[in-house]
Protein backbone atom coordinates (compact mmCIF):
# COMPACT_ATOMS: atom_id res chain seq x y z
CA UNK A 1 0.00 0.00 0.00
CA UNK A 2 2.89 2.34 0.77
CA UNK A 3 4.42 1.69 -2.66
CA UNK A 4 1.07 2.38 -4.32
CA UNK A 5 0.80 5.72 -2.52
CA UNK A 6 4.36 6.54 -3.54
CA UNK A 7 3.59 5.81 -7.19
CA UNK A 8 0.39 7.83 -7.02
CA UNK A 9 2.23 10.79 -5.47
CA UNK A 10 4.94 10.78 -8.12
CA UNK A 11 2.54 10.34 -11.06
CA UNK A 12 0.18 12.99 -9.70
CA UNK A 13 2.98 15.55 -9.59
CA UNK A 14 4.14 14.46 -13.02
CA UNK A 15 0.67 15.16 -14.40
CA UNK A 16 0.60 18.57 -12.72
CA UNK A 17 4.01 19.46 -14.20
CA UNK A 18 2.98 18.55 -17.75
CA UNK A 19 -0.15 20.69 -17.50
CA UNK A 20 -2.88 18.22 -16.60
CA UNK A 21 -3.46 19.49 -13.08
CA UNK A 22 -7.23 19.49 -13.41
CA UNK A 23 -7.39 15.73 -14.06
CA UNK A 24 -4.17 14.69 -12.31
CA UNK A 25 -5.97 12.83 -9.52
CA UNK A 26 -7.68 10.51 -11.99
CA UNK A 27 -4.95 10.22 -14.61
CA UNK A 28 -2.30 9.22 -12.03
CA UNK A 29 -4.56 6.34 -11.02
CA UNK A 30 -5.00 5.36 -14.67
CA UNK A 31 -1.24 5.33 -15.25
CA UNK A 32 -0.85 2.83 -12.42
CA UNK A 33 -3.74 0.71 -13.75
CA UNK A 34 -2.36 0.63 -17.30
CA UNK A 35 1.10 -0.27 -16.02
CA UNK A 36 -0.28 -3.18 -13.99
CA UNK A 37 -2.11 -4.36 -17.12
CA UNK A 38 1.16 -4.14 -19.04
CA UNK A 39 2.75 -6.40 -16.40
CA UNK A 40 -0.21 -8.77 -16.79
CA UNK A 41 0.28 -9.04 -20.55
CA UNK A 42 4.06 -9.28 -20.20
CA UNK A 43 3.80 -12.15 -17.72
CA UNK A 44 1.21 -13.84 -19.95
CA UNK A 45 3.55 -13.63 -22.95
CA UNK A 46 6.44 -15.01 -20.94
CA UNK A 47 4.33 -17.93 -19.65
CA UNK A 48 3.12 -18.90 -23.13
CA UNK A 49 6.72 -18.68 -24.39
CA UNK A 50 8.16 -20.82 -21.61
CA UNK A 51 5.31 -23.35 -21.64
CA UNK A 52 4.01 -23.51 -25.24
CA UNK A 53 2.04 -26.71 -24.63
CA UNK A 54 -0.42 -25.07 -22.21
CA UNK A 55 -3.85 -24.88 -23.83
CA UNK A 56 -5.27 -21.36 -23.75
CA UNK A 57 -8.99 -20.71 -23.83
CA UNK A 58 -9.21 -17.40 -25.71
CA UNK A 59 -12.66 -16.46 -24.48
CA UNK A 60 -11.61 -17.09 -20.86
CA UNK A 61 -8.46 -15.00 -21.33
CA UNK A 62 -10.46 -12.17 -22.91
CA UNK A 63 -13.06 -12.26 -20.12
CA UNK A 64 -10.36 -12.34 -17.44
CA UNK A 65 -8.55 -9.42 -19.07
CA UNK A 66 -11.66 -7.25 -19.23
CA UNK A 67 -12.65 -8.07 -15.64
CA UNK A 68 -9.10 -7.40 -14.42
CA UNK A 69 -8.90 -4.10 -16.28
CA UNK A 70 -12.13 -2.67 -14.94
CA UNK A 71 -11.52 -4.25 -11.54
CA UNK A 72 -8.15 -2.51 -11.26
CA UNK A 73 -9.65 0.83 -12.17
CA UNK A 74 -12.42 0.43 -9.59
CA UNK A 75 -10.10 -0.82 -6.83
CA UNK A 76 -7.49 1.86 -7.42
CA UNK A 77 -10.21 4.50 -7.56
CA UNK A 78 -11.57 3.34 -4.21
CA UNK A 79 -8.11 3.12 -2.64
CA UNK A 80 -6.60 6.33 -3.99
CA UNK A 81 -9.23 8.82 -5.17
CA UNK A 82 -12.62 8.14 -3.58
CA UNK A 83 -13.62 10.61 -0.84
CA UNK A 84 -10.59 12.75 -1.67
CA UNK A 85 -8.03 10.31 -0.27
CA UNK A 86 -5.56 11.64 -2.80
CA UNK A 87 -5.31 14.91 -0.86
CA UNK A 88 -3.84 13.05 2.13
CA UNK A 89 -1.39 11.27 -0.15
CA UNK A 90 -0.31 14.49 -1.88
CA UNK A 91 0.25 16.30 1.42
CA UNK A 92 2.46 13.49 2.76
CA UNK A 93 5.88 15.08 3.24
CA UNK A 94 7.77 11.80 3.49
CA UNK A 95 6.81 10.94 -0.11
CA UNK A 96 8.12 14.25 -1.37
CA UNK A 97 11.67 13.57 -0.23
CA UNK A 98 11.90 10.15 -1.89
CA UNK A 99 13.69 9.59 -5.16
CA UNK A 100 11.72 9.16 -8.38
CA UNK A 101 13.79 6.18 -9.51
CA UNK A 102 11.21 3.55 -8.50
CA UNK A 103 8.42 5.50 -10.18
CA UNK A 104 10.46 5.55 -13.39
CA UNK A 105 11.49 1.89 -13.24
CA UNK A 106 7.96 0.61 -12.52
CA UNK A 107 6.52 1.31 -16.02
CA UNK A 108 9.90 0.85 -17.72
CA UNK A 109 10.25 -2.73 -16.52
CA UNK A 110 6.65 -3.47 -17.53
CA UNK A 111 7.36 -2.11 -21.01
CA UNK A 112 10.55 -4.18 -21.33
CA UNK A 113 8.82 -7.35 -20.09
CA UNK A 114 5.92 -6.88 -22.52
CA UNK A 115 8.18 -6.25 -25.50
CA UNK A 116 10.49 -9.11 -24.58
CA UNK A 117 7.46 -11.40 -24.47
CA UNK A 118 6.11 -10.57 -27.91
CA UNK A 119 9.58 -10.62 -29.47
CA UNK A 120 10.23 -14.09 -28.04
CA UNK A 121 6.81 -15.23 -29.31
CA UNK A 122 7.60 -13.85 -32.76
CA UNK A 123 10.94 -15.68 -32.82
CA UNK A 124 9.21 -18.85 -31.62
CA UNK A 125 6.66 -18.62 -34.44
CA UNK A 126 9.47 -18.19 -36.96
CA UNK A 127 11.18 -21.30 -35.60
CA UNK A 128 14.30 -19.53 -34.40
CA UNK A 129 13.83 -20.57 -30.77
For 29-71, how does the pLDDT look when each residue is reduced to its tens digit (9 = 90+)? 999 999 999 999 999 988 888 888 888 888 999 999 999 999 9
* pTM for the model: 0.87
**Residue 20, domain extent:** 2-125
Short-list 52, 53, 44, 49, CA closest to 123: 49
Residue 98, phi then psi, degrees to nearest 5: -80, 150
- How many domains does one find in the chain? 1
Cα(87)–Cα(68) distance, integer angstroms: 26
Short-list 90, 44, 86, CA closest to 65: 44
Please answer whether residues 114 and 41 qualify as being in contact, where contact means their C-beta atoms are separated by less than 8 angstroms.
Answer: yes
Instruction: Band the pLDDT of 76: cuts 50, 70, 90.
Output: very high
Amino acid sequence: MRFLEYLYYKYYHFQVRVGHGDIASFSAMLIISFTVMLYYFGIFFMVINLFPDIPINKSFFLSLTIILFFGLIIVFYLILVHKEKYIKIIKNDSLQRRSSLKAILFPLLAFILFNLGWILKMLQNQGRI
